[in-house]
Amino acid sequence: MVEVDSDLAARGAPAAVGELALPAPVAAVRGAIELRGLTKRYGDETVVDAIALSIAPGEFFSLLGPSGSGKTTTLMMVAGFVRPDGGAILLDGEDIAAVPPQKRGFGMVFQNYAIFPHLSVFENVAFPLRARRWANGAVAERVSWALELVRLGRFGDRHAHQLSGGQQQRVALARAIVFHPAVVLMDEPLGALDKNLRFEMQVEIKEIQQRLGMTVLYVTHDQEEAMSMSDRIAILNRGRIDQVGPPGEVYERPANPFVGRFLGEANLIEGTIAPQFDDGTRLVLPSGHELRAPSGSRCSGGAQGMLFIRPERIEITPGANAVGGPRDNALAGRIRRCAFLGNILRYAVDVDGTAPVTVDLQSAVGVAPLPAGAPVVLRWPVADSLILPAEP
Amino acid sequence: MTRTRLTRRNLLIAGSAVLATPYLSSRPARAAGQVVIRNPGGAWSDTQKKYIYEPFTTETGIEVVIVPTTLTKMLAMVKSGNNELDIADAGYDGLVELDKAKALAPIDYAGWKYTNPDDIPEEYKTANTAGMALYATVLGYNKDTFANNSQPKGWAEFWDAKKFPGARTLQDMAAGTPNLEFALIADGVPMDKVYPIDIDRAFKSMSRIKPYIKKFWDTGALSAQMLADRDIVLGSIWNGRLQAIADKGAPVAIDWTQHMLSIQAYGIFNGAKNLKNAQLYVDYAMQAKAQVGMPRELNYGPTNIKAFDMLTAAQKANLPGSPENMKRCFIQDVNWWGNNRAKVNATWSKWILT
Amino acid sequence: MNGGSAALRTLSPAAAAAPPDRTLLLLLPAMAMLVLMFFVPMVLFFVRTFIEFQGGRAEFIALARDLLFSQPYLTALATTNWIALTVTLAVLLVGYPIAYYLTTATGPSGSIVVLAIVLPYFTSIIVRTFSWMVLLGEHGLVNDTLRAIGVISEPLPLMYNRLGVLIGMSYVLLPYMVLTLYAAMRSIDPLLLRAAEGLGASGFYTFRRVYFPLSLHGVLSGALIVYILSIGYFITPALMGGQHDIMIAMLIDRELEVAVDWPAAALMSLSLLAVTLALYAIYYRVTDVRRLIGAR
């Protein structure tokens, strides 16, 4: 019962964060992190392979990747819990290889909150201050500030087991920021929360980060979470960084098929790359049909390639006349099936000479989905297409 | 020598971890039946097996079942009417307790055919107990500390810590009988006037030696260990315990002056299931050839005078009850102890704390 | 019984219809063994002792008063508790680092330590105690070594005194503390320690503020087990102690085996049982409180 009530109470005060007076948002000057050739090996296996990154002060930076991609190991090396086998970690230009974890001065939020079960909420949040030998008065002042910030002002006397998962997460967050660290490291902090609560916490974390102007290095395997919160994202795959960029860029212009698929539903239509033309690159499907993409692709003519297009960029019209133009690609096909996903209708369309193409349409009241077997034409802008090298 | 006062500790020391598991000395010989005997376990039991149980079974077909248990357990079994024992092989003092509880039946001396009752001196026989081995509480000393026969001779000298310096040990109440007799002898009481013990006088005398007692021993093993480890250089000790470590090379020896003789005896239980076999067994075990094992292996003296004929002069010299040693000993009065042990125990409890 | 059925009626229909919890049946063999082999014999012993007691109630009360307020008994009671307390603290101090080491040890080193702790238990307590005597005697290994290297000129009194009792008992009881602590420490989430460190706490601060409080219920359990076992000890103090190191169990043993005074032994045993149960009640309350504050 406690959980439901308090969560509702928390949700009922959306303006709380904005009303807080201190500290005022400032342009962050501290908290720049640079990784140079950071490497970690366990036995024969290289789990982090020469990662290089540069994170600006005040930036919200996510390490995104599937499990086993090396993102948590990278974070643990930054935190100081795992010793790198090669490379350097620089904080504001200084190598912190020799600095033990407790002296690095990072705020940290852990996957399962890591709330101290024997301490009250107040003492949990006070922990980093007491470890730094703050005076009692200053501790009380700062802890209540942090608890107000995460909207747990009335919960100081409670114990961890009396809190819901979301509240525990807020305690962990308050504990990480209470001493105003320039950098906060977060390891899948929302992984244990249900979907709605997770979204809510994403907003809160982002707001607090901006308000306090702190650098956040955030590890997650959830691409939506990474995109909704981050200034930039690094996509990790098997210990290497496949791509770094702002959410829009990595979503729309993935560096390779892996990144394309990992960030959301993606169509990757295989074919042979035709010689470069002035007006762009062309991909010839096994059926002989040609698809176009803007020039600038790193692929050379004659090689195998893939045309990348997001399902929501494709228009679908009944009919069989698939003629593209300089601005549009078009493909003829037949509806294979349609799935209702709430806000969207997801079609799988059989197209000659390639795997079924996925198309997402906004669902609308009173509109019947197209029946299976219906002939349709798929059409999308050339500008939204991208030709990627085929996977090895 | 193992020991005779039966406590839980001693059984553990003797290695009899299994308290109530019968041991069958030979294959079942159903026709002739069996006899169930309690003994103290350990080396004692092994020697009895070799010299008495096995020959007895061979000759009569009666199997001997061994049950190692304590005096307290025997008393409990008798009181609860669950006694499955036929014979108790125990210290005479323990048998007196059983006899007081009316647990023992008369020994059928008249019906003996293996042993001539006249070969057993009267002081070792009572109506309900037959003494079958002798052991002595002697003055043991370290031969390096007291070289060239310079050891204290008798208890008055043992009590003289100035003339004979060094840490000592005496028997603890927990072992059943503290050395009040020696305390009286040290205080000038003649050996044959020790009983009845003047408890107050004895404890006063004990108080004089107490500062030099490193530890009172409550098990035979402890007294031997302390002497062997040179933690003490003088002590009262059972002769068999001392002989065992001396045989292993420890520089220790016995001064037989004023030693105390104690008796290990058989008692047959009232209402024993195998009464006839039990009487036959005791008859068999009292003969010289059966008794001679204990002197040879464990330095217990025999009670059958014929047994001395089967031993060498050297063996006899180290045996309690030998003609030579009988001249410098007194026999422990277990009846006095049976009647006064509780009182001595209460006095001891207070005295030890002063 | 009436109260029970009344409570049942107030349950919701769903709860009332639920089948009875049959997992309790799993405890049946253990319960049966405890009742048959411990509870029944003990009750029989006490009952029979008091039935056989010769004399009326007044005499019995007088006996109890004389016994339980006698100087030897009270002194032994004080000695017993002092020794138990000291042994508990000593075992805790020695056992805590060992248990911690075990939780962090990987590979064979941990197994070797566990084996070293448990192996002596394959021999009897008598043998182990006598081994100590060989080591700690006036001419034992410890004193001889110290004299040989010139640290001491006179032998240290390590045996046949209170120190000997403490050494012997601590050694025998150490595994109970180590294994209890080990179980408690294993349940501490290592992530919490990492969190503490990551939030700026030094190793010592992390221990004081996080690790030790979280291991506290293991400390309490281990201390209680060792304490309760300690107050019932008699072999080690009998062999390794001095004249004054008399514990209650030694008095009981003597009443039973030497004086053959069962009423006295039964009274002392009951008093010891009462102390043990009182300690357990305290422990139960303490752990209950612990659960209330939400410690794991």
pLDDT tens track for C170-194: 988 999 999 999 989 998 999 999 9
Question: Inter-chain contact B345–C255, Cβ cutoff 8 Å?
Answer: yes
Do A97 and A53 reside in the same domain of the chain? Answer: yes
Question: What are the structural domains of chain B?
Answer: 21-134+262-331 (3.40.190.10), 137-260+334-351 (3.40.190.10)
pTM, two decimal places: 0.77
How many CB contacts within 8 angstroms connect chain A with chain C? Answer: 73
Does residue A12 belong to any structural domain of this protein?
Answer: yes
Backbone angles phi, psi at A109, to 5 degrees: -125, 130
Closest by Cβ to C126, choosing from B7, B12, B345? B12
Residues of chain A in contact with residue C201, where contact means CB-CB under 8 angstroms, are 102, 127-128, 131
Do A35 and A159 reside in the same domain of the chain? Answer: yes
pLDDT, tens digit, 9 for 90 and up, residues A213-272: 999 999 999 999 999 999 999 999 999 999 999 999 999 999 999 999 999 999 999 888
Does residue A260 belong to any structural domain of this protein?
Answer: no
Q: Which of A219, A252, A285 is the last residue of a domain?
A: A252
Question: C252 by DSSP, 3-state: which?
Answer: helix
Q: At residue A137, what is the residue type?
A: G
Do A312 and A237 reside in the same domain of the chain? Answer: no
Question: What are the residue ranges spanned by the domains of chain C?
Answer: 55-292
Closest by Cβ to C213, choosing from A101, A118, A132? A118
Determine contact: C72 vs chain B, CB below 8 A.
yes
> For residue B262, what are the β-bridge partners?
B135
Q: What is the CATH number of the domain that holds A147?
A: 3.40.50.300
**What ipTM goes with this model?**
0.78
* Residue A60: count of CB within 10 angstroms of its CB: 22
Determine contact: A191 vs chain C, CB below 8 A.
no
pLDDT score, position C41: 82
Distance between CA atoms of B294 and B133, rounded to whole angstroms?
A: 7
User: For residues B128 and C119, which has the higher predicted lDDT (pLDDT)?
Assistant: B128
Does residue A1 belong to any structural domain of this protein?
Answer: no
- Give the number of domains in chain A: 2
pLDDT tier for residue C18 given thresholds of 50, 70 and 90: low
Does residue A293 belong to any structural domain of this protein?
Answer: yes
Check whether C296 has a pLDDT greater than 70: no
Question: Inter-chain contact C130–B97, Cβ cutoff 8 Å?
Answer: no
Do A203 and A317 reside in the same domain of the chain? Answer: no
Our CA-based measurement puts residue C202 at a distance from the nearest CA of chain A, in whole angstroms, of 6
Check whether B24 has a pLDDT greater than 70: no
Closest by Cβ to B229, choosing from C71, C137, C242? C137
Closest by Cβ to C243, choosing from B75, B215, B225? B215
A and C make contact (3+ CB pairs below 8 Å): yes
Question: Average pLDDT of chain C?
Answer: 84
Do A245 and A269 reside in the same domain of the chain? Answer: no
Which numeric CATH code is attached to C55-292?
A: 1.10.3720.10
Distance between CA atoms of B330 and B336, rounded to whole angstroms?
A: 14
> With a CB-CB cutoff of 8 Å, which residues 12-31 of chain C face chain B?
none
- What does the DSSP 8-state code read for residue A389? E
Do A302 and A232 reside in the same domain of the chain? Answer: no
Q: Which of A225, A252, A279 is the last residue of a domain?
A: A252
Give the strand pairing for B252-269 and B168-169: unpaired
pLDDT score, position C291: 54
> With a CB-CB cutoff of 8 Å, which residues 131-170 of chain B face chain C?
167
Question: Inter-chain contact C210–A105, Cβ cutoff 8 Å?
Answer: no
Q: What is the CATH number of the domain that holds A284?
A: 2.40.50.100
Check whether A161 has a pLDDT greater than 90: no
* Residue A368: count of CB within 10 angstroms of its CB: 6
Residues of chain A in contact with residue C211, where contact means CB-CB under 8 angstroms, are none
Do A45 and A181 reside in the same domain of the chain? Answer: yes
Residues of chain B in contact with residue C254, where contact means CB-CB under 8 angstroms, are 173-174, 345, 349
Do A273 and A208 reside in the same domain of the chain? Answer: no
Closest by Cβ to C194, choosing from A81, A118, A160? A81
pLDDT, tens digit, 9 for 90 and up, residues B283-320: 999 999 999 999 999 999 999 999 999 999 988 888 99
Question: B95 by DSSP, 3-state: which?
Answer: helix
Check whether A4 has a pLDDT greater than 60: no
Do A234 and A347 reside in the same domain of the chain? Answer: no
CB-CB contact of B87 with B108 (8 Å) = no
Check whether C61 has a pLDDT greater than 90: no
Long-range residue pairs from A292-295, CB within 8 A, at least 24 positions apart, any chain: A292/A324, A292/A326, A292/A329, A292/A382, A292/A385, A293/A382, A293/A385, A293/A386, A293/A387, A294/A382, A294/A383, A294/A385, A294/A386
Strands (DSSP E) found in A58-214: 60-64, 86-91, 94-95, 107-109, 183-187
Does residue A345 belong to any structural domain of this protein?
Answer: yes
Cis peptide before C175 (omega within 30 of 0): no
Does residue A259 belong to any structural domain of this protein?
Answer: no
Closest by CA position to A158, among listed A112, A129, A205, A117: A117
Residues of chain B in contact with residue C241, where contact means CB-CB under 8 angstroms, are 215
Distance between CA atoms of C141 and C136, rounded to whole angstroms?
A: 7
Do A276 and A248 reside in the same domain of the chain? Answer: no
Do A235 and A269 reside in the same domain of the chain? Answer: no
Do A103 and A153 reside in the same domain of the chain? Answer: yes
CB-CB contact of B123 with B334 (8 Å) = no
> With a CB-CB cutoff of 8 Å, which residues 190-219 of chain C face chain A?
191-192, 194-202, 205, 209-210, 213-214
pLDDT tier for residue C279 given thresholds of 50, 70 and 90: confident
Question: Inter-chain contact C294–A159, Cβ cutoff 8 Å?
Answer: yes
> With a CB-CB cutoff of 8 Å, which residues 151-170 of chain C face chain A?
none
pLDDT score, position A12: 36
B and A make contact (3+ CB pairs below 8 Å): no
Domain limits for position A376: 265-389
pLDDT tier for residue A368 given thresholds of 50, 70 and 90: confident
